[in-house]
Structure 1
């Protein structure tokens, strides 16, 4: 990594470069109380494809530290940034990335018409435009709770306005304890200590005193035509998701994205952040970027991609419709290509035909979906088949068929899409459709109940594992649902005529129950919305679950006495 000195007026700025200078230039701007090293993980990834530039802001690290408050006005820092850009890429515009105060000062340059031709794109992480925030705060009556929540988050900003108060902790040794504090509070990996941390923290308080009050009191009209993506860290203790949420008023080419990280995303999610930066740069340069070009439909799930297996009929089709009605873009997956296409046509989505029990086919499906549409934000593993038979009557082939679809199909869906959700780093949700039969030790449902109980336990295990990545997992357990599963279920030890008779009987029972798939779909949407862990859908499912907890012996007695005769207790 090369180092050079760039002058901005009387201030000398320490600048580092990595990667091939012939490649597009990406300039990374750090925040408070950091130095350029906060970007090390991001630089390591970006340098493979870009010319990457980092530098220490005035008052930090190896750059000069002017005395007083006035030199730390945001206009001065924006001039420093422009000086760096002109030095490292005098002929071509750069792609700008800012974190925390680095993002705040970058907004100043991005919204300056005189600098518009010097910036090709801007990725803002955890640092909104102060002027946009000023306008947002003035409209507090439209969002009183969000405004109040942000004031609580920003308690330290008020403290920093008191002379001497903001610098006191740094003078008392906070710099030497800073990395340990971040590790304990936000899980930031311990790293080599920045020796200037204490001085950086103390001097950086001047940023707040020089800029916050005057900009929030008198916000300007900061507009830009530069393509901007705003990355919100879901676990950010300082910047709420709503602050500056009306920036689209001034930024027509704006994308909002969420990273499953804390405020210190460059330190904890460097590769994921580097991928987001790359996606915007590539998109600006003309390459496909599914996550940025997805149709922004109106609704609660607008801009989200939802994949549903078993979407050709029943609960799967109803779930596809429910998410589409709320603005989601839907990928309908079914073993029946025509049925998948029919559902996709109804919801203006995308159809894929696949056997969920086939591991290789599911991996190919995941690759194709991600390449064409991006990583799904919500994955609903719904595909399943019904089967009735006692343990001894159920043949090994019947066991394999039930477990291959009902359990392995869910496992394949969770593995292929779960891994990609984790790698993406933006959170998400996985829904696994089980059944009330998961709690019912039914003598006529040996294979079916076992497969659904396994799905429920798999979901519980996965929920704990994926929580750290901001990914929720819900288990949906319907009872008697009027779907075509009753018309396609199989029964052990019966000839074709007897099978048809049992199917007709089951269909009649479920038809009289008349609980429609749309009711399950509503519960699935609500489970994603509220990140519910386990959802018994129907009254009978609730009763079975309650009995399984309070009186499992009674439930076994009822099941053995013939509670389950006639049809699988399932959707």
Structure 2
């Protein structure tokens, strides 16, 4: 989807942080923008910061509410006609020792980060396919989905799931004109640490109350994080380049390599292959979209080095 001007982006969690950065970049590329967010105060502030006038529609949306999601999609289409770029960005987080996690901790984070993304796919994908103009879906995963570390079990599990979702959907949908990308940022100046302010009362029980206090008292190091504008433009460049993986921080290079090496070495290549098994189930042993992404990223690196 290289021709963005005049098309429409629908961004969940779009009124602050990463989502607002993506909305800003989409607007700068000539798109209409729908910012959907659970917080009315953030919507008002985000809409004012965008200053896009009639090209911006702000909608209150809890991404876990499927009926509300459908109404938001209807409102977006009523205003702009068609949605072309869906960014499943809304997210929340809790961190701490796994044994402290309650069912409510799991249900809240998974309900938003994974369930909200599923709701976006089920609601918006048929509409994108129906208008026949092509489109793009971006799931905001995280470097925690690629380089998971201890103490982030709930968050990293959900982010790994939405990453795999894009890897599976990409070979399915690309031939039908819909590109799928996984956005895996490192630390960004966002409001995710305040997500607990919108945590539902029925999921309020947490095992991380004390851990959250200690984490917040330790400082947030915002000065070390990338800005929402930087990551927003990175996402739009990833969309323009049709990238499967949209990554931001070079500091994660060693961790990504280590995971790849560890999984490669774990393959039981000392055992003989069963040729009949390999031929019968050939579709299981390689993802063509990942193979294509290797060549795409090699080409992009050459272009960057030549610039």
Q: TM-score range by the shorter chain?
A: 0.7 to 0.9
Q: 2:152 aligns with which of 427, 439, 445?
A: 445
Supply the distance in 1 between the matched residues of 2:121 and 2:140 (Cα, whole angstroms). Answer: 12
Question: For 1:16-415, what aligned pairs fall within 5 Å after superposition?
Answer: 301-345=4-48, 346=50, 347-348=52-53, 349-415=56-122
Supply the distance in 1 between the matched residues of 2:74 and 2:131 (Cα, whole angstroms). Answer: 14
Look up the match of 2:164: 457
Contact 1:330 1:344 in 2 (8 A): no
1:519 Cα deviation from its structure 2 partner? 1.7
- Listed one character per residue, the Cα deviations across residues 84-112 of structure 1 (whole Å, up to 9, x for unaligned) are xxxxxxxxxxxxxxxxxxxxxxxxxxxxx
Contact 1:319 1:524 in 2 (8 A): yes
Which structure dedicates a bigger proportion of its chain to helix? 2
Report the count of equivalent residues.
Answer: 254
Q: 1:503 aligns with which of 200, 216, 220?
A: 216
Contact 1:302 1:327 in 2 (8 A): yes
1:552 Cα deviation from its structure 2 partner? 5.1
Contact 1:477 1:541 in 2 (8 A): no
1:343 Cα deviation from its structure 2 partner? 2.0
Task: With the length of structure 1 as denominator, give the TM-score of the two structures.
Answer: 0.42
Look up the match of 1:467: 174
Structure 1 gap segments, 5+ residues each: 1-233, 235-257, 259-299, 555-571
1:542 Cα deviation from its structure 2 partner? 3.5
Q: Secondary structure at the match of 1:501?
A: helix
Supply the distance in 1 between the matched residues of 2:255 and 2:82 (Cα, whole angstroms). Answer: 36
- Listed one character per residue, the Cα deviations across residues 382-425 of structure 1 (whole Å, up to 9, x for unaligned) are 11011102332211111000001000111111121111011111
Q: Secondary structure at the match of 1:333?
A: strand
Look up the match of 2:292: none
Q: Is residue 259 of structure 2 the alignment partner of residue 548 of structure 1? A: yes
RMSD (Å), alpha carbons: 2.4
- Listed one character per residue, the Cα deviations across residues 491-511 of structure 1 (whole Å, up to 9, x for unaligned) are 963446x52331242513xx1
With CA pairs under 8 Å and 6+ residues apart, which has the higher RCO, 1 or 2?
A: 2
Q: Secondary structure at the match of 2:230?
A: helix
Structure 2 gap segments, 5+ residues each: 200-204, 266-307
Relative distance call for 1:515 and 1:482 in structure 2 (3 A) is same
Contact 1:311 1:334 in 2 (8 A): yes
Supply the distance in 1 between the matched residues of 2:218 and 2:15 (Cα, whole angstroms). Answer: 23
Q: 1:534 aligns with which of 245, 256, 270?
A: 245
Deviating 4+ runs (over 4 angstroms): 489-492
Which one has the largest radius of gyration? 1
Task: With the length of structure 2 as denominator, give the TM-score of the two structures.
Answer: 0.76
Look up the match of 2:291: none
Contact 1:436 1:544 in 2 (8 A): no
